[in-house]
Structure 1
Amino acid sequence: MTRTRPTQLDAAHFDSKARQWDDNPLFRERGLMIAEAIRKAVPLHKHMNALDYGCGTGLLSFPLKDELGAILMADSSSGMLDVVVGKIAAQGVSNMTPMKLDLLADPPPAQRFDLIVTSMTLHHIPGTDSILRIFHDLLKPGGTLCIADLDQEDGSFHGPEVDVHHGFDRADLSLRAVQAGFAELNFQTVFSIAKEHETGTRDYPVFLMTARRASA
């Protein structure tokens, strides 16, 4: 489960789309649905510090910001982070800090987190096993990882010209997470994304996986 192209290509793609990202009501709705699924799966509180990795324009973390403590908003796309900075200023948010970060290339942040969330990002990351180990190391003992992403598909979601993982088999991802040190894994289907193809409309389910780093 590896990819060969560097994540900088993804960053350039998202830079070009950042300013219009929040204009899509489907993107906003998906962020709200994933936030609600996390809210139901994890007992959030204001002493909980979080990392939103691959935060994009913050469509997942902004709905959760009043229920959490400090949130590090990390992305490899400067364009997306510019939008986050503008939203933080416009809304007077005091508990969000943006950071340009690629955890497979850059040094990890010094702090450790109670919660790591990542939405529709894992399939863009070349090394699944590597990023799971990094997430594990960045969590405090007892901390929770929440991954929202695509179920395994045939490559038609993005198309053959885009070099990404074609979603994830839940059993395989569970095994990889356990090997990275996680326990108490749970999956749920949050929603499906409908896409039109020449053969008709196809639904692509999106799961939320929660996993916990052991307390000791």
Structure 2
Amino acid sequence: MMGNVDIFEMMANRYDTPERIQISKATADAIRKYLVDTHDKNAIDFGCGTGLVGMNLLNDFNSMLFLDPSQKMIEQIKQKIDDFNIRNADTLCFDFEKESRTNLQADYIFMAQVLLHINDVELVLSRLYDILNVGGHLLIVDFNKNDEIVSDKVHNGFDQNNLTELMTKIGYREIQSKTFYFGSKLFMNHDASLFILDSRR
């Protein structure tokens, strides 16, 4: 179940549809509202896909690491970094569901529509907690739970309260979340809404 890396490998070169670009911009704008004095901070765009969200936030950070388990997605980003001569970005192909990575450190990690593809949510959120600097932020953007959606490939969204409880158990603090985006046919052909959750280590 989930992971879905092979699906994303096939989609990589036609991933940047107008709708995805629009949602990524709205997501980046929502994340930006939570950023304070981040110009000397280092960020990870976790499960970055083709980097649509992170590319919108490059100027808000000192550096950005684009991290994704799909090599083809990472190749798309490398191309963008070359094409636009971006100096403060790097890439890493890595799967946090398979192993942890202790030599990474970040002040900010954001994951946009990534959690729904992760099988063991608690495991990955714990591993991300471990690489956050003290006082650092994890920002999650994902779909609100929708019981009409039944899939063995993705979670059908998340209940903000349940997610907050789980994250509190892991050790995250100062958790706040709110719904910020509504769209028709947004999530597996269902109308859906996205929430943003901010937390600190």
TM category, shorter: over 0.9
Partner in structure 2 of residue 69 of structure 1: 62
Which one of the candidate residues 136, 140, 146 is aligned to 2:139?
146
AA aligned to 1:206 is L
Contact 2:2 2:154 in 1 (8 A): no
CA distance in 1, matches of 2:186, 2:99: 37
Which of these two proteins has the greater Rg computed from alpha carbons? 1
Partner in structure 1 of residue 90 of structure 2: 97
2:79 counterpart of 1:86: yes
2:43 counterpart of 1:55: no
2:33 counterpart of 1:43: no
Partner in structure 2 of residue 118 of structure 1: 111
Instruction: Give matches, 1:203-214, under 5 Å.
Output: 203-213=191-201
3-state DSSP class of the match of 2:33?
helix
Deviations 1:97-121, CA, capped at 9 Å, x for gaps: 1111111213415131100000000
After the TM superposition, which segments of 4 or more aligned residues of structure 1 sit over 2 Å from their partners? none
3-state DSSP class of the match of 1:61?
helix
CA distance in 2, matches of 1:141, 1:196: 35
- Cα RMSD, aligned residues only: 1.8
Which one of the candidate residues 156, 168, 179 is aligned to 2:158?
168
Structure 1 unaligned residues grouped into runs of 5+: none
User: When the two structures are aligned, how many residues end up with a matched partner?
Assistant: 200
AA aligned to 1:174 is T
* Aligned CA distance change for structure 1 residues 57 and 19 (closer, same or farther; 3 Å): same
Partner in structure 1 of residue 15 of structure 2: 21
3-state DSSP class of the match of 1:62?
helix
Structure 2 unaligned residues grouped into runs of 5+: none
AA aligned to 2:12 is A
